[in-house]
């Protein structure tokens, strides 16, 4: 007997074995379309419509372009980030206010103290 090549391919690829089987697949596909696909499409359209209504409302009020997040403060203006020269000036001013000698003298004192702490040979 000669087999129908197209029927054999349909059977192995999609699982169709005859007219009744093809009809059941068609009914199952139609039900899936109406029960799953169409409701999701409608829901997506409703979301899109709601978004457009919200956008139009805020545009009419003039609030659409307003950024609702807190602005990030500039660290340079607040004094949180200071350049190296400004830091050195602040340190020197603090030392002068405390009545200590300049920054060069403590460095010499640290060097002398480190020499004194070394054991004699």
Q: Where are the domains of the chain?
A: 5-61
Q: Supply the mean pLDDT for the chain.
A: 76
Per-residue model confidence (pLDDT) at position 37: 95
Per-residue model confidence (pLDDT) at position 67: 61
Q: Please write the tens of the pLDDT for every residue from 2-44.
A: 567 877 777 777 777 777 777 888 899 999 999 999 999 999 9
Per-residue model confidence (pLDDT) at position 46: 97
Non-local (6+) Cβ contacts of 55 within 8 A are 64
Q: pTM of this prediction?
A: 0.38
For residue 95, count CB atoms less than 10 angstroms from its CB and return exposed for 0-12, middle for 13-18, buried for 19 or more: middle
* Total residues found in the chain within this entry: 121
- Structural contact between residues 91 and 103, judged by C-beta atoms closer than 8 angstroms: yes
């Amino acid at each position: 007997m000669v087999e129908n090549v197209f029927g054999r391919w349909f059977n192995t690829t999609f699982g169709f074995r005859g007219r009744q089987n093809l009809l059941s697949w068609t009914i199952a596909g139609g039900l899936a379309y109406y029960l799953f696909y169409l409701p999701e499409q409608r829901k997506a359209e409703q979301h899109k419509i709601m978004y457009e209504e919200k956008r139009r409302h805020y545009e009419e009020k003039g609030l659409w372009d307003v950024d609702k997040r807190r602005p990030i403060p500039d660290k340079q203006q607040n004094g949180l980030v200071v350049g190296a020269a400004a830091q050195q000036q602040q340190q020197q001013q603090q030392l002068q206010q405390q009545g200590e000698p300049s920054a060069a003298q403590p460095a010499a004192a640290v060097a002398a103290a480190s020499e004194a702490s070394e054991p004699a040979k």
